[in-house]
Amino acid sequence: MVKVLTILSGLDGGGVENILLNYYRKMDKTKVHIDIVVHSQYEGKLEKTFSELGCKIYRVTPKTVSLKKEYRRHIQNPS
């Protein structure tokens, strides 16, 4: 089985999310499994649909927040 981890900014039904959903609906789930990393703390429109297809959704801190935290940490504690 091929396992794929896809990183997206959200699952709000944009072009990339819809294309991924359309492809995954037609794929043989015994041969391909997709999990998704989302840079968002809220549930998008397509999240339930992906979950029903067997995808696990991982939430991570939004990129902008992470960059700010990293910048502040580096300024306060330079190595």
CB 4 within 8 A of CB 33: yes
Specify the pLDDT at position 52. Answer: 95
Please return the burial class of 69, using the count of CB atoms within 10 Å of its CB with bins 0-12, 13-18 and 19+: exposed
Predicted confidence band at 26 (pLDDT cuts at 50, 70, 90)? very high
DSSP run (H or E) holding 56: none
Query: Measured at the alpha carbon of residue 49, what is the angle toward residues 43 and 53, in degrees to the nearest 5?
Result: 125
Give the pLDDT of residue 67: 66
Distance CA 79, CA 76 (A): 10
Token pair of 65 as six digits? 């927040």
Q: Write down the pLDDT at residue 9.
A: 87
Binned at pLDDT 50, 70 and 90, residue 35 comes out as very high
Give tens-digit pLDDT for 46-78.
999 999 999 999 988 776 766 676 667 666 666
